[in-house]
Amino acid sequence: MKKRSTLISIVTILILSLVLSACGKSDDSSNSTQQLGANAGENATELSFWTFVDLHGKHLDKMLGLWNKENPDKQIKLNVTVMPYDDMHNKLLLAVTSGKGAPDIADIELGQFPKFLEGDNVPLEPLNDVFAPYKDAVVPARVAIYSKGDQVYGFDYHVGATLAFYNTEILEAAGVDYKTIKTWEDYKQAGIKVYEKTGKYLGTADTSAIWQESYLLAQQNADFTDENGNPKVNSPEMVKALEMLVDLQKNNVIHTIPGGQPDTEEAKGEYNKGNYASALMPEWYMSRFVNEMKDLKGKYAIAPLPVFEEGQPRSVGLGGTGTVVTKSGKNVQLAKEFVAFAKLSKEATTEIWNTLGFDPINMDVWKDEAVTKNPDNEYVQYFKTNAFDTLNEIKDEIQAIKSVKASPTIGNVFNTVTLNAIFEDGKDVKEALDEAQAAIEQELK
């Protein structure tokens, strides 16, 4: 009798472990696939789309509604799969290079893009023919970053112009007017006051993203790589940029943040609690405020970034996601036409601002006040100032940082080793950068 009950319990445990591990599997991938295009008829073509941002699916859903209405003969049903960032890019790279299992349409983040353009057989479809009608309305720098030679492979959602977001409630409590912050010296003095009066930090010292280095380099007309695409991360401009940040950190103006940079779950929690008084981030960070930091509504104002010396360019387009069409799809031409419509048309770019809150790459929208100042828009309601007032002020100063073959490696070394060594361990800036340069060169050999 005893034996039998032992046997039964062992079998139960085995079955349970099978069931539980199966549950575990589906949790791991945290994928969800959803079919969009409810208004499509029975003859609609089915296409698939992979993305790592839930909101991007929402945008394509709206565009799909319009497309199916305007093109009754070319209707589409779209299967959208949302996956975590690393997961999606790794799977996509494997799928497109092996030619099996890839979706028709996919989002590829700018930093990952060079990996997909390596070698002679690019697995993505050139989009030149569908791009031609929009060529003159679009910011050229935002197309160049997704091109190889004269072939265009991806369309971005936004320019991603860097802006300064200030928490006016905290700044007022410290007696600081954000409008007077023009240079980094002003920013430092403001931060010292904020820390003395409120005990809060004005900004972040990022250890897991290179936004800060990017805009500080762009302000000095420099880059991470030289004109041949070789890394030069220990340049005098980079040393100047990081030494300035270290000086801010020593004066308690900026401080490292849980999560390592403003665009992480942990960091957004810290912002929402009001522990940091400003975020100097690309324009798309607005959507994170509106969707994920609801407690801050009505407290934040938008202004241009501080610079080393007045007259330097105050913004750079950062981040970005190119929507691409893969070569292995069944209906490549239809996918291309839809992507161009959903990303570049006036309707699309208006919608990109309305649902995603991004600064669209089709600049016709920037001048259309009916769109940019629409009082019903949640991105207009949330902030104390209008984003497009600042954007139009700086629109001729928006620089670009090149995305080349070495970029993913540079990002990887900075985000794992270099920035942690500098801001967490207090390592000498020049020394850390020399080591980074050596590590990157070794890796690229």
Partner 1 sequence: MIKKFVYSQKVAPYVFVLPFILIFLIFWSYPLANSFVMSFQDRMLGQDPKWIGEANYSKLFTDKVFLTAIKNSVVYMLGTLVLLIPFPMLFAVMINSKLMVGREFFKSSFFLPALTSVAVAGTIFRLTFGEMEGSLMNSFLGLFGVEPIKFLKDGEWSMAALLILACWRWTGVNMLYYLSGLKSIDNEYYEAASIDGASAWQKFRAITMPLLKPTTIYVTTISVYAGLAMFTESLMMFNGNNSPKNIGLTIVGYLYRQGIEKNKLGYAAAVGIVLLVIAMVINLTQLKLSGMFKKEED
Nearest approach in angstroms of CB 120 to partner 1 is 7
Stretch that binds partner 1, among 50-58, 170-178, 383-391, 418-426 (CB under 8 A): 418-426
Considering beta carbons, is residue 134 or 271 the nearer one to partner 1?
Answer: 271
Residue 295 makes contact with partner 1 by CB under 8 A: no
Token pair in block for residue 434 = 């020399």
| Three-state DSSP class for residue 167 | strand
Give the C-alpha separation, 440 to 52, whole Å. Answer: 27
Is 111 one of the binding residues for partner 1 (CB under 8 A)? no
Interhelix angle 54-70/332-344, rounded to 10 degrees, is: 110
Torsion 322-326-332-333 (CA) sign:
positive
Q: Least separation, in Å, of the C-beta of 148 and partner 1? A: 15
Measured from the CB atom, the residue of 23 and 144 that comes closer to partner 1 is 23
What amino acid is encoded at 178 in this protein?
Y
Provide, rounded to whole angstroms, the least separation between the CB of residue 439 and partner 1: 7
Q: Is 416 in the site for partner 1 (CB under 8 A)?
A: yes
Residue among 303, 296, 250, 290 at smallest CA distance from 276: 296
Site for partner 1, residues 201 to 260, rule: CB under 8 A: 207-208, 258, 260
Amino acid residing at 442: Q
List 60, 63, 96, 324, residue binding partner 1 (CB under 8 A) = 96
Residue among 30 and 381 whose Cβ is closer to partner 1: 30
Pick 33 or 442: Cβ nearer partner 1: 442
The one among 7, 11, 38, 94 contacting partner 1 by CB under 8 A: 94
Per-residue tokens: 284:
């798309």
**Part of the chain binding partner 1 (CB under 8 A), chosen from 137-145, 191-199, 214-222, 414-422:** 414-422
- Residues 70, 129: Cα–Cα separation, whole Å: 20
- Find the Cα–Cα–Cα–Cα dihedral 356, 77, 142, 138, rounded to 10°: -90
For 45-66, letters b (16+ CB in 10 Å) and e give: bebbbbbbbebbbebbbbbbeb
CB of 66 to partner 1, least distance (A): 35
129 binds partner 1 (CB under 8 A): no
Among 1, 3, 25, 227, binds partner 1 (CB under 8 A): 25
Q: What is 383-415 written as a DSSP string?
A: SSS-HHHHHHHHTTSEEE----TTHHHHHHHII
Q: Is 121 a residue that touches partner 1 (CB under 8 A)?
A: yes
Exactly one of 32, 35, 98, 381 binds partner 1 (CB under 8 A); which one? 98
Site membership for partner 1, residue 431 (CB under 8 A): no
Compute the least distance from the CB of residue 53 to partner 1, in Å.
16
CA distance 349 to 347: 6
* CB-side neighbour CA atoms (13 Å) of 14: 6
Residue 304 or 411: the one with the smaller Cβ distance to partner 1 is: 411
Bridging pattern class, strands 203-204 and 254-255? parallel
Q: What is the DSSP letter of 439?
A: H
Among 293, 421, 422, 429, binds partner 1 (CB under 8 A): 421
Pair 315, 161: CB distance under 8 Å? yes
User: Which of 6, 221 has the CB closer to partner 1?
Assistant: 6
Please report which residue ranges of 251-284 form alpha helices under DSSP H.
265-272
- Site membership for partner 1, residue 442 (CB under 8 A): yes
Task: Work out whether 374 is an interface residue with partner 1 (CB under 8 A).
Answer: no
Q: Residue 373, SS3?
A: coil
User: For partner 1, which residue of 28, 247, 393, 428 counts as binding (CB under 8 A)?
Assistant: 28
Nearer to partner 1, 30 or 221 (CB): 30
Quote the least distance from Cβ 17 to partner 1, whole Å.
5
Among 8, 15, 24, 35, binds partner 1 (CB under 8 A): 24
Candidate ranges 154-162, 304-312, 391-399, 412-420; the one touching partner 1 (CB under 8 A): 412-420
Give the largest Cα separation in the chain, rounded.
88
Asked if 217 and 241 touch (Cβ cutoff 8 Å), the reply is yes
Name residue 64's amino acid: L
Quick one: which segment of 118-126, 171-179, 279-287, 384-392 binds partner 1 (CB under 8 A)?
A: 118-126
Number of H helices, E strands in the chain: 20, 15
Question: 136: which DSSP letter?
Answer: G
Asked if 115 is part of the footprint of partner 1 (rule: CB under 8 A), the reply reads: yes
Please, which residue, 17 or 381, has the CB nearer to partner 1? 17
C-alpha dist (Å) from residue 254 to 41, 71, 198, 279: 55, 52, 14, 10
| Contact between 439 and partner 1 per CB under 8 A | yes
Contacts to partner 1 by CB under 8 A: 13, 16-17, 20-21, 23-25, 27-28, 86, 89-90, 93-94, 96-99, 115, 118-121, 123, 207-208, 258, 260, 266, 269-270, 408, 412, 415-417, 420-421, 424, 439, 442-443, 445
